[in-house]
Amino acid sequence: DTEVTQTPKHLVMGMTNKKSLKCEQHMGHRAMYWYKQKAKKPPELMFVYSYEKLSINESVPSRFSPECPNSSLLNLHLHALQPEDSALYLCASSQVAGNTQYFGPGTRLTVL
């Protein structure tokens, strides 16, 4: 099984809402990632969980908070987002950090 799953596929939310994005992998990978991608741009790393340690891109605002309930699951909690946060949010995993990354299909987020 080389699949990374993400839910939901699409999400529309207001600026006062709280929502969560979910990601799951069953490949036994020890590193999981959240990326944000704007149109015609490369993915931009937000968070990395590697061997249960969190690394944060310091430019990511605190209205995004990751949670790793176990080694197969990675959530991204969203609170008080801004319209500029509208983007494709991608989850990925790799056997170890820096190795080949496998991406989920992404969540298309629109903030109104």
Partner 1 sequence: GQSLEQPSEVTAVEGAIVQINCTYQTSGFYGLSWYQQHDGGAPTFLSYNALDGLEETGRFSSFLSRSDSYGYLLLQELQMKDSASYFCAAPDSNYQLIWGAGTKLIIKP
Binding interface with partner 1 (CB under 8 A): 40-43, 45, 48, 50, 55, 88, 90, 92, 96-98, 100-106
Least Å distance, CB 74 to partner 1, is 15
Decide whether 80 or 105 has the Cβ nearer to partner 1. 105
Long-range contacts, 5-10 (Cβ 8 Å, 24+) = 5/104, 5/105, 6/89, 6/90, 6/91, 6/104, 6/105, 6/106, 6/107, 7/107, 8/107, 9/105, 9/106, 9/107, 9/108, 10/107, 10/108, 10/110
Find the helix or strand (DSSP H, E) in which 10 lies: strand 10-13
Which amino acid is present at 42?
P
Least Å distance, CB 18 to partner 1, is 25
Decide whether 15 or 54 has the Cβ nearer to partner 1. 54
Least Å distance, CB 97 to partner 1, is 4
Least Å distance, CB 99 to partner 1, is 8
Decide whether 6 or 111 has the Cβ nearer to partner 1. 6
